Homo-oligomer: A and B are copies of this chain.
Amino acid sequence: MQVAYLGAHTKAGSMLESVHPHLPGGDRALGPNDPHAVGDVDLAFLALPHGASAEPAMLLLERGVRVADLGSDFRLDSIDRYAAAYGSPHPFPEELGRWPYGLPELFRDEVVGADRVAVPGCYPTSALLGLAPLHGAGLIEGGPYVVDSVSGVSGAGRGAKANLMFGAVDEGVAAYGVLTHRHRPEMEQGLGAVGRIEPKVMFTPHLVPMQRGILSTCYAPAASGVHADDIAAALRAAYGDGPFVDVIAEPPNTRWIVGTNRALVNAYLDERTRSVIVVVAIDNLLKGAAGQAVQCANLMLGLEETAGLPMAGWMP
């Protein structure tokens, strides 16, 4: 891939190097977030606030430009689900349900060759990588399932907010969006798509004092008669030959995969409570966002799925 255009919102008009001084080749200008300013390209990545990507996405598609949308406008599959989560009508309701959900490990066939893909949210990526193969195989059921996640702060963006100042984040941890976070419906929808029924999920995100990484610890009732071997087999079947997801035998540290598009999955069957615990680690900015978008774009364009995606992490 070659970068043909870089759009920005408040930073439009700036040079790339002034916004991202860590990147080489920074002496190119950022243009406006305007699809009309984009030339003749094969694919566009959109990373816009909810509600803002629907219109430019449709404009680009009409022009024959493929769209990998990192925003949430096309992730949910029905008007009702969208309205419940976002509290507003959708401008293109007929599009809902038409966009493949860009979690290739679960929905690769739909992503390959697609002209439009809704790239998942960071928390749903982590939860679904852990729970979906087990739910799809009928190894967990009932519930509600619990998804308890901690995240570094980079998921909240770079805008100046008092609650994300160093002095407000450092040396503290807190939950947020308890019962109301918009990523919960995305988890339920994703599980429903792979299983016989759609389970209910309780999701609590927490902010911890680090920059990158999400760790999701997920709890679900084991189905009757399930053994630990069944859990391991289902995960092996799901990820055995995939390049990005590794099933490991100890709890993962997010440090092991930060800087990569990898995910680490670690699962347990608790005989005492007949429950399954799955712990998943991803980099929220890569497998949870930009990396997964590139992975999807590779599949949309017929490129190697791993092209351009880092596999070696940053841990010093």
Q: Interface SS of chain A: helix, strand, loop or mixed? A: loop
A170 to B169, CA, bound (A): 10
A244, chain B: closest CB distance, angstroms: 11
Residues on the B chain within 8 Å of A313, using CB: 22-23
Is A14 an interface position by the 8 A CB rule? Answer: no
Contact A272 B316 (CB under 8 A): no
A73 to B166, CA, bound (A): 28
Q: Which of B24, B150, B153 contacts A206 (CB 8 A)?
A: B150
A154 to B24, CA, bound (A): 24
- The interface bits of chain A over 136-173 (1 if a CB of B lies within 8 angstroms of the residue's CB, else 0) are 00000001101010101110001111101111111111
A168, chain B: closest CB distance, angstroms: 7
A32, chain B: closest CB distance, angstroms: 20
A313 to B166, CA, bound (A): 18
Residues on the B chain within 8 Å of A172, using CB: 210, 213, 253-256, 258, 315
Contact B312 A22 (CB under 8 A): yes
**Chain A, interface size: which category?**
35 or more
Residues on the B chain within 8 Å of A285, using CB: 316
Is A270 an interface position by the 8 A CB rule? Answer: yes
A162 to B166, CA, bound (A): 10
Is A175 an interface position by the 8 A CB rule? Answer: yes
Given A165-B166, A219-B219, 10 new contacts (CB under 8 A): A22-B260, A23-B313, A146-B146, A158-B165, A165-B165, A166-B209, A170-B171, A170-B210, A204-B277, A209-B210
